[in-house]
Amino acid sequence: MPFATINRIRINYRVQGSGPPLLMFAPGGFGSVMSRWTAAGGKREWQEMDALATLSRHFTTIAYDRREAGQSGGRVEPLTWDLYVEEAKGLLDLAGAPQALILGSCMGAALALAFAVRHPAACKGLYLHWPVGGYRWMMKGHLFFRRHIEFVRANGFEAVVKRAPQGKSFWDDPEIGPWGPPTIVDPEFAAHFAQLDLAHYIGICERSRDALFNDTMPSGASGAELMEIRVPAFIQSGNDASHAHSAACALKELMLQAELWNVLPPHQNGRNTLEQILAFSKRIEKSA
């Protein structure tokens, strides 16, 4: 698989298929990797659909392992939505696509919103699958950062490097934190990580937590930013602790060109989700 260096970070990506460009922000929280779109590594609709292969028959798909996930690298710095979308915009440019339909699932839906705020001209439409948000999502983020900080304080950075290959992602094993995964694939990063100053690092963790989990609104954009989005959007709601239905309803309320599908889990599946994606894409192409 190819790699691209964007914002000085090595990003594992794949461009395949033919048709209109589709930029894909994978689900999985902090474990946002391309395999989440496959029958082997996906869940629910994406597993049933074998999404990456299936969508590549209709679109030119642009998928990637997000920074600090999978085979992509990382950098220890305060994480923000601004930072997260830099790699995505770089990959869109690399693919030679001035505009794309944006598909974001789970925390990937938050990135899709952030991308629309920062790069509206590059967005033909937003398909927001199971957007994250709500009180329980916010508290999960705070809890996981607290567990990581406590683990580093008690055991040191070397313990994170040693444990990371077992946990794989921050969302699978909170103790390894957001920067555990790149220590698995990049020995130079691992060596640097092990020598960090503890107090400075904890400050970075706290700033990242407060930027990404700052309130109970849908993640990725503020209420004021959502009201300024003029991109057509289709919302497919989840209905659990991380993907609160209230978050989907808030998006529908605040985004002027958003429609909310009135089908909730468990009545969503690979077949009807694919139908909705293709129908939404066709409506956008027709209106354009």
Q: Is pLDDT at 258 greater than 80 in this prediction?
A: yes
Q: Are the C-beta atoms of residues 236 and 49 closer than 8 Å to each other? A: no
5-9, 109-113, 164-168, 238-242: least confident range: 164-168
Quote the pLDDT of residue 225. Answer: 97
Distance CA 15, CA 22 (A): 10
Q: In angstroms, how far is the first alpha carbon of the chain from the final one?
A: 34
The domain segmentation of the chain, as residue ranges, is 3-135+221-287, 145-212
In this structure, which topology does domain 3-135+221-287 adopt according to CATH? Rossmann fold (3.40.50)
**Which pLDDT tens digit goes with each residue over 3-15?**
999 999 999 999 9
Which residues does residue 129 pair with via DSSP β-bridges, in sequence order?
105, 236
pLDDT at residue number 86: 93
Give 167's pLDDT tier (boundaries 50, 70, 90): confident
Would you place residue 277 in the very low, low, confident or very high pLDDT band (cuts 50, 70, 90)? very high
Q: What is the pLDDT of residue 288?
A: 75
Can you tell me the distance from the alpha carbon of 230 to that of 125, in angstroms, rounded to the nearest whole number? 9
Q: Is 1's pLDDT higher than 80?
A: no
Q: Please return the burial class of 77, using the count of CB atoms within 10 Å of its CB with bins 0-12, 13-18 and 19+.
A: exposed
Per-residue pLDDT, 168 = 84
Task: Share the mean pLDDT of the chain.
Answer: 97
pTM: 0.96
**pLDDT tens digits, one per residue of 87-97:** 999 999 999 99
Neighbours of 227 (CB within 10 A): 13
